[in-house]
Amino acid sequence: MDVGKILIDGLRAAVGVPAAAFAVSAVGLNLQFGYTGLLNFGHVGSMLLGAYGLAITVDLGGPMWLGVVAGIGAAVLFGLALGYPTLRLRADFLAITTIAASEILRLVFRSEFARPLTGGVFGIQSFADGFFALNPYPDGVYGLGTFRFDERQLWVMTLGWLLVGLGLAATRRLVYSPWGRTLKAVREDEDATASLGKNVFLIKLQSLMLGGAIGALGGMVLAIDQQNVNPDFFQPIVTFYVYTIVIMGGAATITGPVIGAVLFWFLFEAMDGFVGAAVELGWLGPWFDSTDVGPIRFAVFGLGLMLLMIFRPQGILGSREELMIDAR
């Protein structure tokens, strides 16, 4: 077993495009879930709209910047459409509605009648040429040994981590502002917040829409990297990856989602290498072969998440003191 290679593969994933994209997306969910306490189980819907907003606009002949605007706009409207009818109700309704809505989006986008616009099950390809035309990195391979990226990957990584930085700066500014204080107040007790003259409904709606817009940016980064959008990437499980990332890093901490994303992709990739090698070496006995690597990886991941919840439920950056407070 080549431990060095497994670790480097993990490291590569930890700084790569998916980690950056999921970090951006997690920054958005953290605003909704961590700071406002909204159980949005349809976060992947915002990512889908971001990706498709960009892809469809360019596919129809529009410029990329317009695609970015369209993607963000669509995600904001999605937040409005979800929040308006449900945010006056109990929290459970938002959870149910959002998970259903994100699935409806995916199914509509992959359907035959939507195919002229969305490409149906085939999706849309090659819509980010404009972005890659601006690539300042000369052709070539950068890095050492197996820790290498080509100029295209490097360019998308630059975009992704730049967005992460912007997202963190914005989060920091917002959560330390009076607006951020109202978010946390809503999370703690809606009635008390309303009794002090704060429009709870508006605060929740803003959080949902802003978090959705940030989620859309994450979706765009993924789409640009692949030069491909496909409806079946945007399964509900993606939402739960993002939840894992937020909780692992520490919900309601500023940099938690980013730490979570880096760690998530490191573990995900390193686990893949490790389990694959372990199966090959016969460590798992005759019961598992190479086709089981994927499922085993998920099982181990789930176990890790359970252990995290038991021994460090506040995540890596969260404060245990804060979590232990009796929230009567």
Residues lying near other proteins in the complex (CB under 8 A): 170, 173-174, 177-182, 184-185, 187-189, 191-200, 206, 210, 321-322, 325-328
Q: State the Cα–Cα distance between residues 230 and 293, nearest whole angstrom.
A: 24
CB of 166 to other proteins, least distance (A): 12
Element (H, E) at 148: strand 147-150
The crossing angle, in degrees rounded to 10, of helices 17-29 and 256-280 is 140
CB of 328 to other proteins, least distance (A): 7
CB of 169 to other proteins, least distance (A): 10
CB of 215 to other proteins, least distance (A): 17
Closest to other proteins by CB, 28 or 273: 28
Closest to other proteins by CB, 180 or 273: 180
CB of 191 to other proteins, least distance (A): 6
Closest to other proteins by CB, 182 or 239: 182
Closest to other proteins by CB, 181 or 312: 181
Nearest to 227 by CA among 131, 304, 328, 84: 131
Closest to other proteins by CB, 185 or 247: 185
Nearest to 261 by CA among 157, 164, 163: 164
Residue in this structure with the two tokens 């308006």, named with its chain if needed: 84
- Side-chain half-sphere exposure of 313, counting CA atoms within 13 A: 7
CB of 60 to other proteins, least distance (A): 31
- Per-residue exposure over 54-76, b if at least 16 CB sit within 10 Å of its own CB, e if not: bbbbbbeeeebeebbebbbebbb
Neighbours of 136 (CB within 10 A): 8
How far is C-alpha 249 from the geometric centre of its chain's CA atoms? 13
Closest to other proteins by CB, 7 or 174: 174
